[in-house]
Structure 1
């Protein structure tokens, strides 16, 4: 029993370091999924975007009409079709990672963004992503965002 206690104490002391390494790797993998999503948008590559989306994913946007807040669903299939349909200007959503939280197979990501059509500013807001870790890696299960033209940054 006396030999067991030092080994157990060493194991307990090293557990946070192992957990931190795992969390850092998972955070990087989550960020990469979101970066790939936006890379696909910029390229007009719906196959690349589709590779980041979980089966059954849900998209929403929050808007304000006549002062009333509304939650509007967006069909992911329609979004993918729009991304893959040739368009004159690059869809360039520029994000920064504000918060990335990971627990087991669930991640929540908060990203402020600015959206440009080519080099022309269109709108800004915040994205909230929910990701799930599947056999194929981290996939986006839910996106909800805000959109506005003022009070950016």
Structure 2
């Protein structure tokens, strides 16, 4: 029985490792494709695509969609006829699903012409694993006016972490300086804030209404970060974090979720908890029960 379990665990490990390898290989092909397109290297482009590749574009004006098709010959001709250095496409993130034979890559992008932002949208790449490696068999993209475009998500994990750390620090700093607009602008419209009181489970408007008098009096709150851990999803657009804080209530713990939008990071969820030392827990519970606090 133990041997069967060990074999099963080994097979699972091998399978997960193969999936990771496939995703890495697929991402490399997509990155090489974008780099070759930006460099107008049509020879490399042709090696990354299957000869039967399809190109589709969805133009969306906010009300209706228009679908247009393009042949591989037209695509190559457009690349070759463009002045050197004139175009640049920048991928903002990656959502990759891959088996041993088929893969899809979803990515938002910004497109620049002569150094200026022209438009943005989403790319949907489909690839299959040929005898010579992964090849792109379909590219479908959407195109939006640049007003809908967002700033680039940092793709390097250390850069991403640095931008989020600065964002959270600035959010706490806005509270300590009683700067109401920057503080609540840093929260998404559907944000939830959970405070230390049992009734403090607020939507953003509810939290803002409760906090308004504190900000107007110039006496909000001051959180000093002692420790913080941050984690990211693979698509780079969602992060969750925990904090150990020095506050007027003593040491507190907090958990938060931040989402990356076209306007930068936003706090989507934040929960603050007061800590109680284990040796004081019985006294704390006795005090709490004796005061008939409503929960």
1:75 and 2:88 equivalent? no
> Whole-Å Cα distance in 2 between the matches of residues 98 and 41 of structure 1?
18
User: Does the residue aligned with 1:125 lie in a helix, a strand or coil?
Assistant: strand
Alignment of 1:33-112 (within 5 A): 33-64=29-60, 67-112=63-108
Shift of 1:6: 2.6
Alignment of 1:111-130 (within 5 A): 111-130=107-126
> Whole-Å Cα distance in 2 between the matches of residues 66 and 47 of structure 1?
37
User: Does the residue aligned with 2:148 lie in a helix, a strand or coil?
Assistant: coil
User: Does the residue aligned with 2:144 lie in a helix, a strand or coil?
Assistant: coil
> Whole-Å Cα distance in 2 between the matches of residues 57 and 121 of structure 1?
27
CA contact (8 A) 2:38 2:85 kept: no
Q: Deviations over 1:107-128 (max 9, x none)?
A: 0110000001231111100001
Query: What corresponds to 2:148 in structure 1?
Result: 151
> Whole-Å Cα distance in 2 between the matches of residues 66 and 59 of structure 1?
22
Supply the RMSD in Å over aligned alpha carbons: 1.7
> Whole-Å Cα distance in 1 between the matches of residues 22 and 94 of structure 2?
16
> Whole-Å Cα distance in 1 between the matches of residues 29 and 114 of structure 2?
23
Q: Measured at CA, do residues 16 and 59 of structure 1 come closer, stay the same or move farther in structure 2, by a change above 3 Å?
A: same
Q: What TM-score comes out, normalization by structure 2 length?
A: 0.48
1:14 and 2:2 equivalent? no
User: Does the residue aligned with 1:104 lie in a helix, a strand or coil?
Assistant: coil
Structure 1: stretches of 5+ with no match in the other structure: none
Q: Deviations over 1:71-127 (max 9, x none)?
A: 110111111122123514432110033310012210011000000123111110000
Q: What TM-score comes out, normalization by structure 1 length?
A: 0.89
CA contact (8 A) 1:44 1:85 kept: no
CA contact (8 A) 2:39 2:85 kept: no
Query: What corresponds to 1:24 in structure 2?
Result: 20
Query: What corresponds to 1:136 in structure 2?
Result: 132
> Whole-Å Cα distance in 2 between the matches of residues 145 and 133 of structure 1?
22
CA contact (8 A) 1:46 1:81 kept: no
Q: Measured at CA, do residues 151 and 83 of structure 1 come closer, stay the same or move farther in structure 2, by a change above 3 Å?
A: same
User: Does the residue aligned with 1:44 lie in a helix, a strand or coil?
Assistant: coil
- The structure with higher relative contact order (CA 8 Å, sep 6+) is 1
